[in-house]
Amino acid sequence: MLEKVDHHHINCVLKSSQLKPTDSHDELKAKHDAIKALASKLKQRAENEKKDLDATKETEAELRRLLSEQKKTLLDSNILEKAKEAQEAKDMELAMSVRMREVEKLERVRLESMMKCEKERATNDMDEMRKHFEEMNKKKLDDAKL
């Protein structure tokens, strides 16, 4: 794992690596190695950041592609949903018309039944009145014969 290289660490290495006229060969070599190590760490950090940036770009491209696919899928889904709603409305209208025909038929049967009952009652009333008038006429004829 790469150790964290921040601005504080960079400043410390640069400050400690400043050349002095009294530096020995070993001190100069150590300061040079410290700067080389810092440069190597900075290069590694830059490479890691570049990899992260590349990965981020790939991820962003994939997200854009997925978003585009989802947008298309959503549009298709909306079209299908509207078609489904239209079909449901059509089915509901058809069911309502069938139900209305059933209700009309039931009402017609009920009215026919009522009319039949009314006709039978009227026929019975007429028969009773005819019998009553026949009896009255018969009584009048009997009374007239006497």
Q: With respect to residue 125, please indicate whether it lies within any of the assigned structural domains.
A: yes
Q: How many domains does the chain have?
A: 1
Q: With respect to residue 136, please indicate whether it lies within any of the assigned structural domains.
A: yes
Task: Give me the pLDDT at residue 98, please.
Answer: 96
Q: With respect to residue 112, please indicate whether it lies within any of the assigned structural domains.
A: yes
Q: With respect to residue 62, please indicate whether it lies within any of the assigned structural domains.
A: yes
- DSSP annotation of 106 reads H
Inform me whether the pLDDT recorded for 51 exceeds 70.
yes
How many residues belong to the chain? 146
Does this model's pTM top 0.85? My answer is: no
Q: With respect to residue 63, please indicate whether it lies within any of the assigned structural domains.
A: yes
Contacts of residue 32, Cβ cutoff 8 Å, sequence gap at least 6:
17
More confident residue, 146 or 66: 66
Token pair for residue 51? 């990899």
Inform me whether the pLDDT recorded for 109 exceeds 50.
yes
Q: With respect to residue 94, please indicate whether it lies within any of the assigned structural domains.
A: yes
Q: In terms of residue numbers, what domain contains 101?
A: 7-14+24-145
Task: Give me the pLDDT at residue 118, please.
Answer: 94
Q: With respect to residue 95, please indicate whether it lies within any of the assigned structural domains.
A: yes
Cβ distance 31 to 19 under 8 Å? yes
Which residue type, as a one-letter code, is found at position 35?
I
Q: With respect to residue 2, please indicate whether it lies within any of the assigned structural domains.
A: no
Contacts of residue 44, Cβ cutoff 8 Å, sequence gap at least 6:
2
